Amino acid sequence: MPCADDTQRIAADARRALDICNACQFCDGYCAVFPALKSRRSVSAEDLTFLSNLCHNCRSCYHACQYAPPHAFDLNLPRSLSLVRQQTYSDHVWPPLLRGRLPYAGWPAVAVMAAAILSAVALVVVPALLWVPPEMLFGRQSGPGAFYRLVPWRVIAGVAGAAMLWSLLAIGFSVVSFWRSMGQAPTGVPVLPALRDALSDAASLRNLGGGGGGCNDRDERFSQARRRFHHALFYGVMFCFASTSVATVYDHLLGWPAPYPLASLPVLFGSLGGGGMVIGTAGLALSKLRADPAPVAASLTGADCALLALLFLVAVSGLGLLALRETVAMGPLLLLHLGLVLGWFVTMPYSKFLHAPFRLAALLRAAMERRGRS
């Protein structure tokens, strides 16, 4: 984690950049950051927290900026806000004992996340190796209840449910802390209409539009690729959640245990979800690796790619389990997939995943401010 001097330097650089942008206002229509900035005479610490998470890092403002390097002002707003944004994850992580102690950038972040994922995989694999006979684990399993003959449903639901409950609790407390750090919310503004606006902005990724032409994913040329890859990943996760929900209804209300036929809703939803996650994660990782390095905070790339790699492995292992569930590979693939899913659940509040709820909270604050000004 950055030391106190680095944190102050990062904040000072971001505040300087935002002051220049507020005076210039050339990028006013690019995203929600600039209208929100325009309503402020000066940029406080609370404003930095808010604006840095409202930024979607589309980098359009960098390529349009007349004060970007090699100008003497050396203005690089996307990189400045990225560094502040990364600091907010550490400042508001829950429980508070972990604040300032977890790395969110560089190789330390990748190492911590990898250790957590490997521990989660081991937590599933090691006990299964002890209670499942090798001939069953590496034998061909088929028919209703085949998965649960290897790992009982109570174990799957209990371990995964406890991990997910903890993660949701930790994320919830982190978001509350983050919300308070943005300062006093506008008063007298209906929350529900503002929440509808924020959800619409999040679902459509309107702020990755760069004023309509798209992001500058690689260079000064506009592109909608990053926006589409984000959509593929997000809706892929939603389809996977729908698959799990329908499978739960099938199993517990209708008495139809997994695995299900290829034409069933859980399999169709899961296939669409897994495919979307593979396309989204691979596309976003490639976009990051091929992007113009100038407006990028290079220290954050590792942690970003670590999360994308985890989600990619979750999707690939799930699709592999579906394709090979009638073969001797089903047992090892099931354990690997369950371990990776558990690793995802465990690391959600302590990885780059935290940007999603923080950004939604910032979008809600921006929507409340817009409605308050109208």
- Using the structure block, give the residue that is written with the tokens 């994660």: 281
The larger pLDDT score, comparing residue 71 to residue 145, is at: 71
pLDDT at 148: 84
pLDDT at 136: 78
- Give 282-334 pLDDT, tens digit per residue: 999 998 888 888 888 878 888 888 899 999 999 999 999 999 988 888 889 99
Question: Mean pLDDT of all residues in the chain?
Answer: 89
C-beta atoms surrounding 152 within 10 Å = 12
Residue 59 has pLDDT above 70, yes or no: yes
Question: What is the spatial distance between Cα 53 and Cα 159, in angstroms, rounded to a whole number?
Answer: 32
Lowest pLDDT segment from 252-266, 307-321, 345-359: 252-266
pTM of the model: 0.90
Bridge partners, 215 (sequence order): 223
The larger pLDDT score, comparing residue 185 to residue 282, is at: 282
pLDDT at 80: 95
Mean per-residue pLDDT, 208-215: 74
Nearest to 225, CA basis, from 298, 280, 152, 158: 280
The larger pLDDT score, comparing residue 264 to residue 29, is at: 264
pLDDT at 200: 95
Residue 1 has pLDDT above 60, yes or no: no
Residue 85 near residue 49, CB atoms below 8 Å? no
Residue 223 has pLDDT above 70, yes or no: yes
Lowest pLDDT segment from 154-168, 205-219, 230-244, 330-344: 205-219
Of all residues in the chain, the percent with pLDDT exceeding 70 is 97
Nearest to 288, CA basis, from 229, 374, 238, 246: 229
Residue 141 has pLDDT above 80, yes or no: no
Question: What is the spatial distance between Cα 62 and Cα 202, in angstroms, rounded to a whole number?
Answer: 22
Of all residues in the chain, the percent with pLDDT exceeding 90 is 53
pLDDT at 3: 61
pLDDT at 134: 81
Structure tokens at 3: 């030391």
